[in-house]
Chain A
Amino acid sequence: MSIALDQVTKRYQDQPVVNDVSIEVGEGEFFVLLGPSGSGKSTLLRAIAGLTGIDHGRISLHGRDVTHLRARDRGVGLVFQNYALFRHMTVADNIEFALRVRRTKGAARRARRKELLKLVALEGMDERLPGQLSGGQQQRVAVARALAHKPQVLLLDEPFGALDAKIREELRRTIRSVQRELGITTVLVTHDQEEAFALADTIGVMNHGRLLEVGQPTDLYAQPATRFVATFLGAANLLLARQSADGIRFGATPVNAEGAEPLQAGREHEVVAVLRPEEVELAATREELASNFIARGAVEEIVFTGAFERMRVRLLDEPCAAQLLGSGAASDARLEVTRTQHDRRSLPLRAGAQIALGARRLHVLPTPLSSFLACAPTVAEAEELAREPLLERLSTNMKTRVGLRAIAPATEGLGPPTPPFSGVAAIAGGSDSATTVEWLLRHGASEVLVLPRNAPSPTRVFIHWTDEAARRATLAVSASLLRHVSAEAVYLGIVPAGPPGAGRAAPMRALLDARSEAQQSHGLEMRTELAIGETVTELTRNLSTGAAQMLVLGITDIAQGASAYRSLLAAQPGWPVLIVYRPAETRSLPDIAA
């Protein structure tokens, strides 16, 4: 591996800006770190360069651990957004800077300079001053300067940020060809997905200091695993669909979808699906559609962009419109559609036209957290619960909605509720929350979020499960949750107190298994801690160690889970607890039959 980052964490004032990031970049690979501003990507790049120290983790370049090495000893070349050329020096002196520092002989220096200027197509510019060059030329000089000492790794921090579109594309091509010619391992940081697509062999998408997904551009675009990647890499419509034994349904209509996980334990549940604007088919009537019909719609807005036509379409079928998450506020979600000029000519449309919509390709996200449902005795209380800061923050970050439901655990019997619970049921914390949790789980909810009043957004999330059978689901839920809050993840393994020595190896192995499964199957980097003692006592003790902590708890048995954690859930002021319930495979069948 050319660059290997192992669980790199960087905090500023206790807030993690880079959170447990592990990356491996192969020899000669062009790796693009993509993310919105403030996602920690530049900090990570500076950490690789050695300009920013890290709080945790390891960085190695070509197998050499450089974590504690200074920038000047790491052998990297760095290119900045604002060029950072030495303005009092000529182009020649700028490029030769690294060689002068190393006391290279004059002739060798000149030869290397000529070679580099030729590489970036700036021959004959040797004696110019940076002030006499255009922005694009200055950045070329910066690239040449960064390569002078033959670094093992080239790092580029938003190198095109200050340039206009034409020059940007030209420089992009230059950098790509220089990188190919030298075969140098390169990491580029950008917030521009087009740039990432154009340059990258591999893209890593960051948000909230976390590395969400790594993959080839085409794979990430076609099969994103998270809603952030789906919406950040190009435009995407997010839909809430239901998955049952018959397949995927959007509204009332079954649709073809790919990427759907097999149904878990036979329970019908809600999923989040991605519909790219270019995968939407438009036709005058439902019969003319070549693909699966999803809904009828009215064109609201048409924007001509040259090669494409972009539209916003309002869905006319109410139940369908409610399932559309869109990209803006949930209440006025519209379907984004793009059409080629060819399609436009065959079916010319104006604003106001009514059309049938079909989905050529729908991708189901593997995330288990689809939407939230605020549950309280009255709708007014549910509304109040929906305004809880943590719930608001989660739903905004997840671009999803919070539904409202009045429930009455005391009076309602055990019959199936209508409509079925979908998404994560959220309830207010309190002394009887355990009873409500039990009732919700018995009525088909799979995840319940217990929210104390005014709970802050967590900075640390503890993960624990009572039974190894709940591991997979709990990890999946935790991973999904942690993509949307900037918090550290800690798996807490708890073994009962007993004689030391005997029987300790198995829990340790379980700990390591959990970590590697989180990493490999869910892209979740977490730390692991082992506690000895009684489960609820240990959980409470750990949750009390700092402010703004949260617990994700996986259980397989409703009755046992509810009674064991009654005291934890009733604690005042308490912590947000997300309970993940998956019936253990062996016990689930009689459960359903009953």
Chain B
Amino acid sequence: MKFGAIKNLGQSEPSVIPGFGITLGFTTFFLCAIVLIPLAALVLKAAGMDWERFVAVITSPRALASYRLSFGASLVAATVNMVFGFALAWTLVRYDFPGRKFVDAIIDMPFALPTAVSGIALTTVFAANGWIGQYLEPQGIKVAYTWIGITVALTLIGMPFVVRTVQPALQEVQRDLEDAAETLGAGRFYVFRRIIVPTVLPALLTGFTLAFARAVGEYGSVIFIAGNMPMKTEITPLLIVIRLEEFDYAGAAALGCVMLAISFVMLLAINLLQVWGRKRMMVSR
């Protein structure tokens, strides 16, 4: 009996994918092997140093400058993405224009492109003699080999995260809601501020978080456009690689721990903000 066989395999509530035990087991294994064990190893490695040296490494002026650059540029890039990613998603959801499908497909390109390639491409375009760089240079705007270039690279790789999270949320804002608000007397800006933004805000924050997390960890594209001058355009991941090349494994691990800690705190903060925001919206307006 076919049905009997299926029944024996499944748990009390059979679903499309059978085997709660197997799936949970795999989830646990995945978390351990890919996330938890390497992280634990990182912390252990860093713990191998004594405290004074640890503090000295992580608070060296060069390290501090790299944190500022890494997190600062990532924040700026994620913020830019939040604004323009929203605009992009809005255009894609609300308007039908020739080539819309094409634009929609292009959005995903940064996902697929090797980051080194986009880094080199950006450098070519924004270098002092590049396509765009040659016009910016006379205006006194240097993009390549400055923090601006780093931000541009981080914006590029973060954009699809915002667009792809906001798109479905925007699709859910029914035209009827806007129509209802309009008949009730609300102007366009009022509708945008009071109806559209609150509805897509959770998705927007998620997109921001993803773009930010991605930017902090980005390495490939940045090293080409950054110029990598210590204290000026050196991001923390690069500093870690330099330490590794000097066989200073403990030092690299210490910096890694700091990145881990800061990222964790920031992601936690954004998540809390999101939860708080959702509650606030639910309770009052």
Q: Which residues of A contact B (CB under 8 A)?
A: 46, 49-51, 70-72, 74, 76-78, 80, 82, 84, 86-90, 93, 97-98, 101-102, 129, 142, 145-146, 148-149
- Pairwise interchain contact A102-B185, C-beta atoms closer than 8 A: yes
- Pairwise interchain contact A97-B176, C-beta atoms closer than 8 A: no
* Distance from A108 Cβ to chain B, minimum over Cβ atoms (Å): 15
- Pairwise interchain contact A88-B185, C-beta atoms closer than 8 A: no
- Pairwise interchain contact B183-A88, C-beta atoms closer than 8 A: no
Chain B residues within 8 Å of A86, by CB: 177, 180-181, 194-195
Chain A residues within 8 Å of B184, by CB: 72, 77, 97-98, 101, 145-146, 148-149
Chain A residues within 8 Å of B177, by CB: 84, 86
| B-side interface mostly | helix
* Distance from A103 Cβ to chain B, minimum over Cβ atoms (Å): 11
29 CB contacts below 8 A, A to B, read A46-B179, A51-B179, A51-B182, A71-B182, A71-B183, A72-B182, A72-B183, A72-B185, A74-B183, A76-B183, A77-B183, A78-B179, A78-B180, A80-B176, A84-B174, A84-B180, A88-B199, A88-B282, A90-B283, A90-B285, A93-B285, A97-B184, A98-B184, A98-B185, A101-B186, A101-B190, A129-B282, A145-B184, A149-B184
Q: Mark B152-185, 1 if CB is under 8 A from A, else 0.
A: 0000000000000000000000101101111111
Decide yes or no whether B284 CB sits under 8 A from chain A. Answer: yes
Decide yes or no whether B110 CB sits under 8 A from chain A. Answer: no
Chain B residues within 8 Å of A148, by CB: 184
Chain A residues within 8 Å of B187, by CB: 72, 101
Interface residues of B in 186-202 (CB under 8 A from A): 186-187, 190, 194-195, 198-199
Decide yes or no whether B281 CB sits under 8 A from chain A. Answer: yes
Give Cα A49 to B183, complex, Å: 7
- Pairwise interchain contact B285-A71, C-beta atoms closer than 8 A: no
Give Cα A102 to B176, complex, Å: 21
Chain A residues within 8 Å of B284, by CB: 90, 93
Give Cα A74 to B184, complex, Å: 10
| Shortest Cβ distance from B280 into A: residue | A88
- Pairwise interchain contact B174-A88, C-beta atoms closer than 8 A: no
Give Cα A25 to B182, complex, Å: 23
Give Cα A108 to B151, complex, Å: 51
Chain B residues within 8 Å of A146, by CB: 183-184
Chain A residues within 8 Å of B176, by CB: 80, 82, 84
- Pairwise interchain contact B186-A97, C-beta atoms closer than 8 A: yes
* Distance from B204 Cβ to chain A, minimum over Cβ atoms (Å): 13
Q: Mark B252-285, 1 if CB is under 8 A from A, else 0.
A: 0000000000000000000000000000011111
- Pairwise interchain contact A50-B185, C-beta atoms closer than 8 A: no
8 Å CB contact of B179 from A84, A93, A102: A84
Identify the 5 closest CB pairs spanning chains A and B, nearest first.
Answer: A84-B176, A98-B184, A84-B180, A78-B183, A101-B185
Most buried by B among A50, A72, A74, A76: A72
- Pairwise interchain contact B180-A82, C-beta atoms closer than 8 A: no
Known: A88-B198, A145-B180. 10 other contacts (CB 8 A): A50-B183, A71-B182, A72-B183, A72-B186, A72-B187, A86-B177, A102-B185, A142-B180, A146-B183, A149-B185
- Pairwise interchain contact B183-A97, C-beta atoms closer than 8 A: no
Chain B interfacial residues counted at CB < 8 A: 22
Chain B residues within 8 Å of A72, by CB: 182-187
Most buried by A among B181, B184, B285: B184
* Distance from B136 Cβ to chain A, minimum over Cβ atoms (Å): 42
Give Cα A224 to B199, complex, Å: 48
| Shortest Cβ distance from B172 into A: residue | A87
Chain A residues within 8 Å of B180, by CB: 78, 80, 84, 86, 142, 145
Give Cα A76 to B282, complex, Å: 28
Chain A residues within 8 Å of B285, by CB: 88-90, 93
- Pairwise interchain contact A87-B179, C-beta atoms closer than 8 A: no
Interface residues of B in 94-136 (CB under 8 A from A): none
* Distance from B197 Cβ to chain A, minimum over Cβ atoms (Å): 10
Chain B residues within 8 Å of A49, by CB: 179, 183
Give Cα A146 to B194, complex, Å: 17
Give Cα A74 to B176, complex, Å: 17
* Distance from B172 Cβ to chain A, minimum over Cβ atoms (Å): 10
| Shortest Cβ distance from B174 into A: residue | A84
- Pairwise interchain contact A88-B179, C-beta atoms closer than 8 A: no
- Pairwise interchain contact A87-B183, C-beta atoms closer than 8 A: no
Given known A80-B176, A129-B282, contact A97–B199 (CB-CB < 8 A): no
Give Cα A145 to B183, complex, Å: 11
Give Cα A149 to B180, complex, Å: 13
* Distance from A438 Cβ to chain B, minimum over Cβ atoms (Å): 54
- Pairwise interchain contact A87-B199, C-beta atoms closer than 8 A: yes
Chain B residues within 8 Å of A90, by CB: 283-285
| Shortest Cβ distance from B181 into A: residue | A97
Chain A residues within 8 Å of B282, by CB: 88, 129
Given known A89-B285, A101-B190, contact A51–B198 (CB-CB < 8 A): no
Give Cα A93 to B186, complex, Å: 14
Give Cα A86 to B283, complex, Å: 13
Give Cα A145 to B285, complex, Å: 15
| Shortest Cβ distance from A157 into B: residue | B176
Give Cα A98 to B194, complex, Å: 12
Chain A residues within 8 Å of B186, by CB: 72, 97, 101
Give Cα A49 to B285, complex, Å: 26
Most buried by B among A82, A93, A98: A98
| Shortest Cβ distance from A145 into B: residue | B184
Give Cα A2 to B187, complex, Å: 25
Chain A residues within 8 Å of B194, by CB: 86
Chain A residues within 8 Å of B198, by CB: 88
* Distance from A128 Cβ to chain B, minimum over Cβ atoms (Å): 11
| Shortest Cβ distance from A97 into B: residue | B184
- Pairwise interchain contact B199-A51, C-beta atoms closer than 8 A: no
* Distance from B188 Cβ to chain A, minimum over Cβ atoms (Å): 9
Give Cα A93 to B174, complex, Å: 19
Give Cα A142 to B183, complex, Å: 12
* Distance from A260 Cβ to chain B, minimum over Cβ atoms (Å): 47
* Distance from B276 Cβ to chain A, minimum over Cβ atoms (Å): 14
Chain B residues within 8 Å of A77, by CB: 183-184
Give Cα A97 to B177, complex, Å: 12
Chain B residues within 8 Å of A70, by CB: 182
* Distance from B109 Cβ to chain A, minimum over Cβ atoms (Å): 34
Give Cα A88 to B193, complex, Å: 13
Chain B residues within 8 Å of A78, by CB: 179-180, 183
| Shortest Cβ distance from A75 into B: residue | B185
* Distance from B173 Cβ to chain A, minimum over Cβ atoms (Å): 10
Chain B residues within 8 Å of A102, by CB: 185
| Shortest Cβ distance from B202 into A: residue | A88
Chain A residues within 8 Å of B183, by CB: 49-51, 71-72, 74, 76-78, 146
Chain B residues within 8 Å of A129, by CB: 282
